[in-house]
Structures are given as C-alpha cells and as structure tokens.
Structure 1
Amino acid sequence: MEENIVKGEEIQRKIKLNLGQLTFEALKNYGDNVLQVDAETDEILTASLLLKQGIRLATFLKEHGVSHGDTISVISENRLEVCLIAVASFFVGATFAPLNPDYTGGELNHALNLSRPKIVFSTPSSLSKLTGITTNHTDIKLIVVFGSHESKKFLQGLDDIIRGAENDEIPTTFAIDSYDPKETVATILCSSGTTGKPKGVMITHENITSCIEILTKVFLQMKKEADSDSSDTITGITPFFHSFGFLAMYLHILRGKRLIVFKKFKPKIFLEAIAKYKLKALVVPPPLLVYLVRDPLVKKYDLSSVKEVYAGASPLNKETEMELKRRFKLRRAGQSYGMTETTWAVIATVNIEGKSGSVGVVLPGMMAKIIDENGRALGKNQRGELCLKGPMIMKGYVGNKEATMHCIDKDKWLHTGDIAYYDEDYHFYIVDRMKELIKYKGFQVAPSELEDLLVSHPSVLDAAVIGLPDEYAGELPMAFVVKKSDQEVTSEVLQEFVNKNVSPHKQLRGGIVFVKEIPRNQGGKILRRILKDSALKTGFKHKL
C-alpha cells in the first residue's frame, strides 16, 4: 500500500438498487411527509404527491419514447417542479441534466450539445431563449413548459400532464428497469474547465447511492454528538443545477426530510424562513454566511434556533467562521470540500471539534493524498496537489475522453488541481489552486473564456482576467486590457460588451484596467500573480 494515503472510515455498501427503484420505495414509505416548501408561496410538496406526479410524468416520458440512455433537461431556477422531473427521469432510467437559467444563448447552446436531451422542461421566463436555439438541436423532440400551455406539436404544459395525479392510487409496485447503477449515468452537471468551455460531468447512480450511504453515516454520527437531528429541515437556496444544490435537494427527498426552496436569494424571505421554520442548521454558500454577520437587517429576526452552519460550494474564511460562532453561539460551524467531479463533498467537518479554517476530514469510504510535482505522496503539513479516490468519483466527462484521462489517472485518482495539506490530526486545508478558475459565489469562471471574448472586440489587442479577492463573493472577475494603438474604447463599453455575452456570474464585477502590456513568461503564459498583486496594492475599487 502506498504511503501517506489518508483514508476515511470504512463503509459497507448495502444499496444495490438504482435511483429509480430507491426513490420509489422511499416515497411510498414516507406518505404525507412534507418534502419541500416554497419559501415565497408556502406551497408544499408531500412524498405521496411527488410519487403520484412522478409516475404520471414517467408514463408520459415513456409514451414519448424516453427510455434508459436518453437525457432529460430542465432550465429553471429552484422550484418544486425540478425534483419531479428528476424523479420521473430516474423512474425511466433517463439521465437528468439541469441547466443554468442565466445562460446566454451561446452558453445554453454549448450545454445542450453536451447533454443532447430528448425533452427539455422550461420555466415560462426561459422559454423564448430555449425556442430560439432548438433548431440547432435535432435531438430535442419536445419542450414542456411549467404551468398550463396550449398543446402544440413541440410544446406542452407540465400542469396539463400531471393534472389530477393527486387523486391517483399509489401502486404497490411500479415497473422500473433494472439498469446497472455502476454504469448508468444519473446526471450530467456542467463544470467549468481551464479551457473555458463547461464540461459535462457524468455522475452515475452508484456515485449518488454511495454518497447517500456515506452521508447517512455522517449524519448519524453528527446526530449522536448533538443529541438531535439538525438536518430535519434545511434551506434549498444553492441552485439545483449546481452539484451541491442538486444533491442536497435529492438527498433530502430520499431521507424523507423537509427542504425550504428559494427561487433566488431575497434577504427578507430568507430570514423569515429561518425564523418561521426554526431552522437548526444552515447549509449554504459562504456569501450568505457573510451576509448573516454583516447586514443589520439580520438583527431584526429571531434566528436563535440556528445551532449549526456549514459552508459549501466555495471556501469560508476563518474570520467569518469565528464571527458566526460568536454571533449565533453555534455548537458547530464548518465547511466542506468537493467538486462536481466528486458528486458532493468528500472532505467535511463532521464533528463538533472541527478546526477553524479547515475543510474537515476525509469522509467514510473515500481516500485522499497530497502529491508533489513528481506524483509522490507527501506527509503531514506538506503542500501539494490534492488527489481523491473512491466511489463518489465521476465516471468521466461526456464526449471528452482526453479531458477525463487528464483528470483521472490510471490508478483512478482524481487530480483536483487544488493545493492543500493536512495536519497531525488529518484535517485538510485548501491553500491555493493550480487551476486558474475564479470562484464567484460558488460558481466557477474560466479566465480564458473571458479573455477570448475580450480579444474578439475590435478595439482590444490583448487581455488577462484574474480573480480579485472579495470577502463577500470569494473572487470577482477582473480584466486587464491592452487596447489597439489605433483604437479608443472605454471600460464602460467593454463592460457592456462582456455582460451581453455571458451569464451574470461571469461578468467583470472586479472592473477593467487598461495596461500597456500583459505580463507573460517565455512560454507565453500569463503571469496572473503579478496582475493580482498589482490590483491588491492599488486597492482597486470594485462592485458586486
């Protein structure tokens, strides 16, 4: 056995079912358990209603030729309907591929080329964007819009499909194909790469059922320590098209627990929900935790029920963590580390004695190591690249074997591109990134994508994009631009140009600085550290 490999506690795999079979049995047993609540409308979704509607929608999918191996997509903000589409997809053995509703037409076009869905579900607000590009995607046979809609050849309303399902009888059995959980892709979630274009991450049924078993073990340990289950009700505010948000949502369905669903972050609604439902645990991105310790509005609400907070999707700084503990008298505050490629978190704070600044310990069933430039596994307190291995590691990138082989080596280790170390107690710390990705509020932004866009402007000769550190957002995309000698252009014009062509999280919120040249090494690689140091020294002002 190779030295310096950190292993989580051993776990015996017991789930042999695929997600369709597992979901059917779970929903049948949970009956009238409230699984989801719309934070704005108070509309509820029970397990029995979800099961009845799921069977209705699965039958509809089958009637329209959807079966094992096909893909279903949904472009939507967080809504109660999203879990219904996922459930129905798993019932028929189809792959579920959620999409960011903020995608521009070009970004959406690329994402659809990755997943190649047969049917796409859409909110009314995204319908015009979607219909505008469907002619480019012959795989799409039908669009189903949320709500009611006049049935047309390529367009139907979701409400019209499931209307009356609440009166259906729940069958004791339901025909679900016995497809192989290890090989069958359950979800395709988009993850940005250093090449700039998102890659489609293939997560199998076994990846997710492994995650369920691992986290169930963790939850039992945490419940034993706290003498209560703080995860009975949690917030569903991280986008469901994001791996962290989707798994949090679906895991709660399979556990029969309640999720408060937020379409978008609205301070008053967010705070009211915490107070109304007396939430004990918050599982949210770090920007919301920063908000809780900074915004004066927070003091107007009784949030005394909150005893535990967990950061996911991006790092939580030590100062915010300490302030949260002080302000809310928390018994546990921590964070976790994971990637879209790891299904969910694989390193996390699982005990009350978690260390401030650490992302936690390796979860049961998983392994981690820190390697140097030669691939040698390093010991304690030595910095190197974090590599991960275990049953939650993705199957690969859809249609991109080269990228898969670059990310996962011959021994099945996933190379994260993040620089980390672990201490004497095997607590891990993330200190830097080998990758050049910018993390804005948990979203990944590829600098090269923005650089290519900027250089496409007729007045721009060269460009470099960095992540400007920001306490609230994590990092803000900021550009350094070299103008062509015979051209004049303002930063406002370039800002508008970029904003029109990218999603909101990719916008240059850190601003634009004009320079004479972009610093590069002899191989032509941009020296981003020099640019970042320059930005920090000048105290460049930015806006969220």
Structure 2
Amino acid sequence: MVVLQAGKSPFKTENTYDEKLKIWSGGEKRSLFSPDLSIGEITFQQMERNPKLTAQISVTENTVLTWQDIHTNSMKVATYMRKLGLQQGDFVGIIGRLTTHLTALAYACFFNGTPYHALHTQYEESAIERLFAITKPRLIFCDGDEFEKVQAATKELQVQIVTMRNHPTGSLSIQDILNTPVESNFRPVRLKDGTDQILAILSSSGTSGLPKPVTVSNSHQIIGSFLPVDSSIVQYNPNTLDWASGIIMTVNAAVFSLTSIIEDCDFEPATLCGLIEKYKISMVFVSSSQLAMLSNCSEFYSADLSSVKYFFYGGSNCSLETQNKIRSRLSNECVNFSYTITELNSTGCLNFNFDEKPNSVGRPVRGIKIKIVNELGEAQGPNVVGEVCFNNGQKWSGYYKNPEETKKMQDSENWFHTGDLGYMDEDGYLFLIDRLKDMLKYQTIMYYPSEIESVIAEMPNVVEACVFGIWDPVNGDKAAASVVKKPGTQLEAQDVVEFVRKRIHAKFKQLNGGALIVDQIIQSGNRKANRAATKAEFLRIMQKNSI
C-alpha cells in the first residue's frame, strides 16, 4: 500500500494506492452521526439545533425562511402526506424549479421515509409518462407551468397534483398543503431497511438512450464530511432536486445549518455575480457550461467576489482556458472541479491541487475507491487509459425495477462502470479523456443521439443518419447530424434541422450543431456507424466550407 502525498491541498487527505490490486482510495469513510440514523432523522434533529438561523432566501419570490420555518413547513407537508396514507414504499413525484417551499417538500419526504422521484421540468410528456409509470407516485408536486403536461402524462395514474407556483385556477396549491396542522408529537419515522432504504430517485441515462430511475439511498456518504463547513456558509446552487448536486446540497444545508440563496429562473451569470456581492455567498456549485457562461460575463470581472471560499463546478468537460479565467478572479484554493455519477450517491473526486494538476478531476474523496479497467475488465496501473470505475462500499438498490440495466452499471463486485475513459497518474489524480458511452449533455441535460436519429429516419428522403455532439464551452454537446439522402431525391441540411425542430420540442435535443448531407456514413469494422470518424469528417467539411 502506497500513501500518496497530499500536495498543496488545504484539506487533509488519506489517499492511498494498492499496487497489487491497482486500486486508489480516498480513505475510510466517516460519519458525523450514529450509523443507524436516517437522513430524515439527521436533518430533523439538526433543524432543531439552530432554529433562528436564516435557512433560505428566494431572490425571485422575495421570501426569507429560518430553519424553524422550514422545519415547521416540512412537518406540515409530511403530516399532509401521512393523512393521505402515504407510507414507506410509496413515492412522491416532483417536477419543479427552486421555489420557496421545494426544500420543505424534500425534507418532508425524508422525515416520512417516502422517497421522492424528481424529473426535470424540460422533460417531454412521453418521458414523464414512462418514468412515473415505473414508480407510480401517490402524490405529485409540480409548477403550474408544467401542470397540463404532467396531468396529461399521468392521467392513467389518477394521482393528485399540487402546484408550487403559477397555480392554475382550481388547482391544489402548496399554500393549501401548508395550512395542515402539524401532527401531535411529530417525529421522523424509523426506516424499515435502515440506511440502505431509498431516499430519492433521480434520472440517469445509464447505458442506453432512455432515462432510467436511479435510486439514492439514506447512506451517510451523501453528507459532505470531507469539507470544513459550518453555519457561517452561504451557498448557491442553481440545480433542482432532480440533480445529484441538488439533493446533496439540500441534505448538507440542513446538516450544517447553511444559508441557501435560491432563484426559480434560468441561470444568469450576471445575476450570480450580483448575488455573491449582495449576500456574501461563500460556496457556489455550478455546471461546467454555467462556468463557461460566467467566464464570458463582464460583471464577473468587476463584482466583489471576495466572500467566495468554495467554488465547485462539474457535470461535463471544461476547457482549461475557462478554468483559468475563473481562477484569475478567485482564490486559487477555492476553485475545484467535482466529478461524480448520479449512481454513486456522493461526490466522487475533487481536485484541490489545480496548480500541480491542471485539468485533472482530482482524487477520490473519503469512502470512495477508483480503478481503471481495460476491455477485459482487468485493473490497470498508473498512466494507462481505460474505463473509470467507482466503488463506494455501500449497497445500491440499482435502477428502480430495472435489474438488466443495473447489472450493466454495477458489476458483481459492486464497482460502478462510469462509461468514461480516463487514467490515474502516478500521484493518484484522475484525468478524463472521453466518454465511452454515446450519452451527450446539453446545458447539463442528458440525451442520446439515437433519440434524434430515430426521428430523422422518419423523413421519406433519408437513407441513414448519424448524430453526434459538437462541443460548445457554454452549452456542452450540441447535436449535429450527417445524413445520407435517397438517390434522385432533394434534401437540404436545413430541411433536416426543421424536421427535428417540429418533431422534438425539447430544445436540448435540437440539431443545435447543424446538419450536413453526405454520400455515406463512415462505418467501423463491425459495419456500424463510426460516430467519431463521422464527426471528424463533418467538422472537416464544415471548416472547409467556412473558408
């Protein structure tokens, strides 16, 4: 066992490398609480400790809540759920932006041991219908903006829907729920399956094109005990409860009595700069695309950002140029890349040593192990490229009701296969090279090229199509397509773009990178489309045409 040097990190690390097994470790996981306590019990008791501290400020709804307010509201929502007969094993559906009472809804689910199943507001009706048909939520909370879409998608479930904002006439609103008197002697439930029990269900694209419900457990690994944070921290995170960062920061806000600054609108970098200055925000988590937007924002270079202690970003690739722009305005130690997968239930890696290891996603945090495997599943040593695999040493309930895809993600030895190609260097830092899977991300929303290809294939003049992602530092993977038309027919690239626009309403699945009519799709040895080669040819032709 080799103990790896900590470098210049301001945080203590216990990283080791097992030369025999070829496994890197972030050290033993530790919990700040009794191991039998659920996340609901922990957050409940922590809210009681600091009732007068400010818990949340909504800058769009102009509300300020203390931890006592959120504690009371959470118990009201939980009491309402109990009166409806919701029990452990039932699900609550959530499709909502960061409105004032969204966190109370999450904590209510934690208190009751009734997991929530969260979907992104941009999901199409068909995706909502398919995913909620799996978990069959007994109660759904959504914004009024999505009410009709959610109602249509869940008509077979005959489920009650509560709106969180912009309430349609006659709908049941969150304010109605908050009129519920708190149950006498209210206490959070004891979980039947302990910390292995499901805390929430998020969405992940897994190893095929359709989103799958991925379970998150009550494991204490979700608590960020590797960071020295306390109630003085004011945090900002634009991601909702359907993201791993959303649930992680919601849990940790209650555990450490943090103050959260929230807004229920799309991310605006200039607004964030103003919020940091006004509220003295000390911890920020944004996606890599949002980081790129911030680096191109003039307000970023004039605002007072001196309050920021921790600035985390992640979710996709990020150019070195963008990272250096951000670091030019912030303390070097506070800017850190965060790398994980939803299935891991926690942060996977953090890079606290950018100066020494630029473009690395860092080392595994406490409780996390990493190995790099080749195509045969054999562990590889330092500086050898292979698939990145994680192990968190805890039970995972898998993709809900999908054992086949669960086995593809986690092997018999409980290693998660990320689908990312990378290598560990001799100092135990992880570097990512490319995606092994075809999954793409546009503005952090996951999608697959096959979804768009199937739509293009419906065009009568199309023989074959290959869709791939063109990297953009702000938006992420912009879908682009190379298309083969039927001989003797007329088909223009713009026809393809317009056809997709009319058939697919989600903006992240548009051909934002354009289309190209080609004579043939480049194939691999197995006679399947070679996306990488087709993409390279697309870029070559587009560059040539632009000259």
> TM-score, normalising length from structure 1?
0.89
Query: What SS does structure 2 have at the residue aligned with 1:397?
Result: coil
Superimposed CA distance per residue, residues 466-504 of structure 1 (whole angstroms, 9 cap, x where no aligned partner): 111222223211111222346544444433443342522
Q: How many residues align?
A: 523
Superimposed CA distance per residue, residues 352-407 of structure 1 (whole angstroms, 9 cap, x where no aligned partner): 86621110101111111011122221111111111111146742111111111111
Find 1:178's aligned residue among 187, 191, 214. Answer: 191
Distance in 1, Cα, partners of 2:152 & 2:144 = 13
Partner of 1:357: 359
Query: What SS does structure 1 have at the residue aligned with 2:196?
Result: coil
Query: What SS does structure 2 have at the residue aligned with 1:409?
Result: coil
Distance in 2, Cα, partners of 1:369 & 1:502 = 40
Q: Does the 8 Å contact 2:21/2:379 carry over to 1? A: yes
Q: Does the 8 Å contact 2:318/2:473 carry over to 1? A: no
Partner of 2:14: none
Q: Does the 8 Å contact 2:352/2:362 carry over to 1? A: yes
Partner of 2:12: none
Q: 1:93 to 1:495 in 2, by over 3 A?
A: same
Query: What SS does structure 2 have at the residue aligned with 1:518?
Result: coil
Find 1:198's aligned residue among 197, 211, 215. Answer: 211
Find 1:85's aligned residue among 98, 105, 109. Answer: 105
Partner of 2:221: 210
Distance in 1, Cα, partners of 2:56 & 2:231 = 16
> Structure 1: which amino acid aligns with 2:62?
D
Deviation at 1:270, TM superposition (A): 2.0
Q: 1:11 to 1:44 in 2, by over 3 A?
A: same
Partner of 1:253: 254
Find 1:475's aligned residue among 468, 474, 477. Answer: 477
Superimposed CA distance per residue, residues 508-544 of structure 1 (whole angstroms, 9 cap, x where no aligned partner): 21111121222222433210111221233345599xx
Q: 1:210 to 1:259 in 2, by over 3 A?
A: same
Q: Does the 8 Å contact 1:75/1:101 carry over to 2? A: yes
Greater mean deviation of Cα atoms: 44-53 or 14-23: 14-23
> Structure 2: which amino acid aligns with 1:101?
T
Q: 1:233 to 1:533 in 2, by over 3 A?
A: same
> Structure 2: which amino acid aligns with 1:412?
N
Partner of 1:64: 84
The correspondence of residues 103-122 of structure 1 with structure 2, limited to 5 A, is 103-122=123-142
Query: What SS does structure 2 have at the residue aligned with 1:189?
Result: strand
Find 1:163's aligned residue among 162, 165, 179. Answer: 179
Q: 1:16 to 1:324 in 2, by over 3 A?
A: same
Partner of 1:531: 534
Superimposed CA distance per residue, residues 244-286 of structure 1 (whole angstroms, 9 cap, x where no aligned partner): 2222233212221011112221344222111111223322111
Q: Does the 8 Å contact 1:18/1:180 carry over to 2? A: no
Distance in 2, Cα, partners of 1:541 & 1:239 = 42
**1:189 matches 2:209:** no
Q: 1:162 to 1:141 in 2, by over 3 A?
A: same
Greater mean deviation of Cα atoms: 20-29 or 414-423: 20-29
Q: 1:149 to 1:480 in 2, by over 3 A?
A: closer
Deviation at 1:507, TM superposition (A): 2.0
Superimposed CA distance per residue, residues 71-102 of structure 1 (whole angstroms, 9 cap, x where no aligned partner): 10111122222212111112221111111111
Query: What SS does structure 2 have at the residue aligned with 1:66?
Result: coil
> Structure 2: which amino acid aligns with 1:310?
F
**1:48 matches 2:68:** yes
Deviation at 1:230, TM superposition (A): 10
Find 2:283's aligned residue among 249, 267, 281. Answer: 281
> Structure 2: which amino acid aligns with 1:219?
L
Partner of 2:341: 339
Q: 1:466 to 1:53 in 2, by over 3 A?
A: same
Q: 1:24 to 1:108 in 2, by over 3 A?
A: same
Q: Does the 8 Å contact 2:43/2:255 carry over to 1? A: yes
Q: Does the 8 Å contact 1:95/1:188 carry over to 2? A: yes
Query: What SS does structure 2 have at the residue aligned with 1:322?
Result: helix
> Structure 2: which amino acid aligns with 1:126?
E
> Structure 1: which amino acid aligns with 2:415?
W
Q: Does the 8 Å contact 2:43/2:251 carry over to 1? A: no
> Structure 2: which amino acid aligns with 1:495?
V
Q: 1:148 to 1:49 in 2, by over 3 A?
A: farther
Distance in 1, Cα, partners of 2:231 & 2:328 = 19
Distance in 2, Cα, partners of 1:390 & 1:493 = 48
Distance in 1, Cα, partners of 2:442 & 2:231 = 28
Q: 1:133 to 1:283 in 2, by over 3 A?
A: closer
The correspondence of residues 141-160 of structure 1 with structure 2, limited to 5 A, is 141-146=159-164, 156-160=172-176
Structure 1: runs of 5+ lacking an equivalent: 224-228
Query: What SS does structure 1 have at the residue aligned with 2:242?
Result: coil
User: What percent of counterpart residues are identical?
Assistant: 27
Query: What SS does structure 2 have at the residue aligned with 1:219?
Result: coil
Q: 1:37 to 1:171 in 2, by over 3 A?
A: farther
**1:219 matches 2:227:** yes
The correspondence of residues 130-529 of structure 1 with structure 2, limited to 5 A, is 130-135=150-155, 137-138=156-157, 140-146=158-164, 156-163=172-179, 174=187, 176-206=189-219, 209-212=220-223, 215-216=224-225, 218-220=226-228, 232-263=233-264, 264-350=266-352, 355-391=357-393, 394-485=396-487, 487-499=489-501, 500-529=503-532
Structure 2: runs of 5+ lacking an equivalent: 1-17
Distance in 1, Cα, partners of 2:145 & 2:168 = 16
Q: Does the 8 Å contact 2:276/2:305 carry over to 1? A: yes
Q: 1:112 to 1:451 in 2, by over 3 A?
A: same
Query: What SS does structure 2 have at the residue aligned with 1:369?
Result: strand
Distance in 2, Cα, partners of 1:407 & 1:120 = 29
Distance in 1, Cα, partners of 2:380 & 2:58 = 47
Distance in 1, Cα, partners of 2:302 & 2:286 = 20
Q: Does the 8 Å contact 2:287/2:316 carry over to 1? A: yes
> TM-score, normalising length from structure 2?
0.89
Query: What SS does structure 1 have at the residue aligned with 2:332?
Result: coil
Q: Does the 8 Å contact 1:393/1:414 carry over to 2? A: no
Deviation at 1:325, TM superposition (A): 1.7
Distance in 1, Cα, partners of 2:461 & 2:510 = 19
Distance in 1, Cα, partners of 2:168 & 2:480 = 45
Higher helix share: 1
> Structure 1: which amino acid aligns with 2:432?
I
Q: Does the 8 Å contact 2:309/2:334 carry over to 1? A: yes
Superimposed CA distance per residue, residues 184-218 of structure 1 (whole angstroms, 9 cap, x where no aligned partner): 21111111134211111011112xx2221xx21x1
Superimposed CA distance per residue, residues 310-341 of structure 1 (whole angstroms, 9 cap, x where no aligned partner): 21222322222222222334333220210111
Distance in 2, Cα, partners of 1:486 & 1:68 = 62
Q: Does the 8 Å contact 1:244/1:312 carry over to 2? A: no
Q: 1:172 to 1:387 in 2, by over 3 A?
A: same
Q: 1:44 to 1:351 in 2, by over 3 A?
A: farther
